Structure formats: structure tokens, C-alpha cells
Amino acid sequence: MENNINKKDADVVTLVGKACAEVQGFEEMYRRLERRMNTQRRSESTKKNYARHLAQISLHYQCLPTILADDQIEDYLEGLILKGAPSDSYFKHTVYGLRYLFRLEGLNDKRIQLPSIKHDKKLPIVLGRDEVKAMIKEAVYLKHKLLVGLLYGCGLRCGEVRTIRLRDIDLSRGMLLVRKTKGNYDRYVPLGTLLIRGINQHIESTGATDYLFTGTDFESQYSQRGVQWVIKSLCQKAGIRKEVTTHTLRHTYATHLLEDGLDIVSIKNLLGHANIETTMIYLHIAKTEIKQPFCPLDLLYKVS
């Protein structure tokens, strides 16, 4: 069953509340951090991640991270590595949270040199066209078919597909307005005939009036966990053995567009990337026809 607040969110609230109650000065520091992140329009996930890790280190030492000695922070980070942090992102967000806090408190020249984070250069996993069709075929409910169709057909992030509102769907023009999410700016993506048909059927059958997708109580938004469960279960039914997440369908969207001849700049805009360098990774994945080197002078005079 989908919950309005998932377990991870509840854990963050509990940790922050505990740190506010037990660590002197944490509540005031957290309010400053929260205010700055709001004015900088940081995403909710970033705010929760930073708050969680700052609360944990504060509770560990029972004092603010800003007054810790170099070796205390070093010991804490080493402990995460030696104990085996739950994931690479867990360690990464601890470091990023500390960096953000030090800048906020005017400690850019903080005594400790926080470790640099090496970015993962692994290529993203991409589904084949038959695999996408198999996922849609295995979906029993129209809601689930439409969910996969939008993730793949529009290249949406999980948070974007969960929060689609009817007012942002322009069926007459066949366009979907994806409102400010990551990067803080809007973008339009084309829907296509099949998605328009599916959206119309979904609205007619559910009587949706605000959000396209809702939770099980028909009032809350479709939860992140719910979307992830749908993708995972459909992959299992379709016999797909790749490590597939909701973001895999976004990677697949970009790769297939590139293979079908769309230029990289247009794909960048459809994905909502701030920098073209982020989009360029798909050039290493897409199976595109490679032309042999040639002399442009011959083409200029049409010499064969």
C-alpha cells in the first residue's frame, strides 16, 4: 500500500527532531540551512539528504559539525567507509552536506580538507525496444501501462511522472508541460498519439480532476515507492534481467531518440539538462551509423 510519507522521509523527520532536541544549537543551525536551501530552490530530496546526514553526525558527537576538530570529522568519514556505508551516495551526501553547511556558516576555509568525490563514469543501462514493449504488454492495468508509456515516451524523471497535473496536459497540441523540477525550469515534451489516447482513457475511467496519477486513497499523489514497485514487477514479469529503475526508461528514451536521428541539442532540451555535457553520454551508447571520413570539397562540387 502506498503511504503519504514513506519510511525514508519519516526517518529524516525523526533524526532531525532528535538532533534539535538533543544537540545544542542544532535547531537554529537547521533553520538557517533550510532557509538558504529554500531560497536557492534546492530539491526536496537534496534538503532531506543533507538534513539527515548532518543530524546523524551531530547526534554521533552530540555537538554541531562546525565545532568539530579535523580528526573528529576524519574519523567519522573513515568510520562510514570501514563499516560499509549503505551505498556510495550515502557517503557522498555526508560530504556534500558538510561542505554546504561550512559554506553557509562562512567556513569556506574550514580546517579540514573534505575528500573529493569521484563521479561514477559507468554508462547507464538502456533497454531494447522489444524490452520496453514487453513491459507494457505485461501491465494488467491501464494506469501501469500509461506510467511506463510516459516514463519512456516522454523521458520523465520519477518525480515528474508522479506529479503530472491535468492542467499541464495539452491534448489538442499533443504536448506535456513538465514544470520546474531538477534545474528549476519548465520544458515541453511531445506526447504522441498513443499517449494522448491512453491519457484520455485513464481520465475517463478514473475521473481524475487534478493529478493524473493518485495514490490508493485517490487523494494523495502516487508515491515514489509505488512507481518503483510497478517498474520492478513489470521487469520481472517480462523476464528482463537488467538492473532497471525508473530512470532507466529515461536513459532509454534519450538513446532511442538519438538512434532514430534526433540531434543531441534537441534531446538535451527534451531531457531538461542544464549542460550539453550531461547529454553527450548517450553518444557512447546509441547505435548510430558511422560515416566514413570524407573531403567536404568533393561534396561542395558534387564530385563522386
Instruction: Give the single-character DSSP code of 302.
Output: T
Residue 300 class from Cβ within 10 Å (0-12 exposed, 13-18 middle, 19+ buried)? exposed
Instruction: Please report, rounded to a whole number, the percentage of residues in the chain having pLDDT higher than 90.
Output: 54
CATH class of 132-248: mainly alpha
Model confidence over 34-67: pLDDT tens digits?
Answer: 999 988 888 788 888 899 999 999 999 999 999 9
Q: Kindly state the helix (H) or strand (E) to which residue 170 belongs, with its residue range.
A: strand 169-170
- Burial of 160: CB neighbours in 10 Å, binned 0-12, 13-18, 19+: buried
Dihedrals phi, psi of 190, to nearest 5 degrees: -75, 145
Nearest to 52 by CA among 104, 8, 84: 8
Mean pLDDT over the full length of the chain: 86
Which is the catalytic residue, given 8, 143, 182, 237?
Answer: 182
Q: What is the pLDDT of residues 74-101, one digit of tens each?
A: 889 888 888 776 667 788 888 899 999 9
Quick check: 219 pLDDT over 60? no
Apex CA 114: angle with CA 112 and CA 117, to 5°?
170
Angle between helical axes of 264-271 and 246-259 (0-180°, round to 10): 160
Query: Which residue do the cell numbers 513491459 mark?
Result: 135
> pTM of the prediction?
0.68
- pLDDT at residue number 145: 96
Active site residue 247: yes
Q: What residue ranges do the domains of the chain occupy?
A: 7-104, 132-248
119 among known catalytic residues: no
Measured CA to CA, the distance from residue 290 to residue 303 in angstroms comes to 21
For the segment 135-163, what is each residue's pLDDT rounded down to a tens digit? 999 999 999 999 999 999 999 999 899 99
Under 8 Å between Cβ of 134 and 180:
no
- Greater model confidence, 304 or 232: 232
Specify whether 282 is catalytic. yes
| HSE (side-chain half, CA atoms, 13 Å) at 134 | 15
Q: What is the pLDDT of residue 4?
A: 41
Active-site annotation holder among 110, 145, 157, 202:
157
Q: Which of 30, 222, 253, 282 is catalytic?
A: 282
Strands (E), 171-258: 175-178, 187-190
The catalytic position among 162, 187, 250, 251 is 250
Residue 284 bears catalytic tag: no
User: Taken in order 90, 92, 93, 98, is the CA torsion positive or negative?
Assistant: positive
The grid coordinates of residue 63 equal 555537538
Determine the topology of domain 7-104 in CATH: DNA polymerase; domain 1 (1.10.150)
For residue range 236-250, list pLDDT tens digits in order: 999 999 999 999 999
250 an active-site residue? yes
